Structures are given as C-alpha cells and as structure tokens.
Amino acid sequence: QKRKRASGAEKKGKKKFTPSVTIAQAVKEIAETCKSRNDAISKASIGEVMAEIQTMDEVMNDLELHTMCCQLMMFKSAREKFVSLRGD
C-alpha cells in the first residue's frame, strides 16, 4: 500500500520561499517605503520647514542667510529637497 502525501494544510514547519518570491517581497517592501516617504515629503509645508530652519543658529544669526532661506523655501521643490535631506 502506498503512502499518501500530506496535503498543504497538513504540512508543518516553516514555509520555504523560492529566491524569486523573496526578491519580489523585498522589492514590494522597498516600493511601499519609497511611496510613503514620497507622500510625507510632498506634504512639507512652509510653516514646518521654516520652524525647523529657525532652530538653526547659523541661519538665525545671519540676516542675509535667513532672508535667502526664506525666499528659497517658498518653492515646493526646495522644501521637498530640504525635507528629504533631513532624513526623517
């Protein structure tokens, strides 16, 4: 009499993934992380960025530098770059 093979529900132990499945999961996780980071960066408001800039002594002690920062942070692309360089 032949032994029956265990069905998927009856198997015990860790589920082994093929390398392609593991890579696909890693890529998916990276994509989700990038998307959430991009969403956070695109929502950088002028007030939030300026509040952080005002905590920098170098900027607050130099009127010309402070003025340039204020003018630069009016541009959305500059705010997004500032937030992305901040590294939250």
What is the predicted pLDDT for the residue at 64?
93
- Number of folded domains in the chain? 1
Inside any domain, residue 51:
yes
Q: Does 7 map to a domain?
A: no
Instruction: With respect to residue 4, please indicate whether it lies within any of the assigned structural domains.
Output: no
Q: What tokens appear for 68 in the block?
A: 């340039």
Residue 7 φ then ψ, to 5° = -80, 170
Please give the model's pTM, rounded to 2 decimal places: 0.47
Three-class SS of 32-62 = HHHHHHHHHHHCCCHHHHHHHHCCCHHHHCC
Kindly state whether residue 53 falls inside one of the protein's structural domains.
yes
52 within some domain: yes
Does residue 11 sit within a domain? Answer: no
In a domain, 28, yes or no: yes
Per-residue pLDDT tens over the stretch 30-87: 887 777 666 655 567 788 888 888 899 998 999 999 999 999 988 888 888 888 887 6
Residue 43 lies in a domain: yes
Range of the domain at 35: 19-86
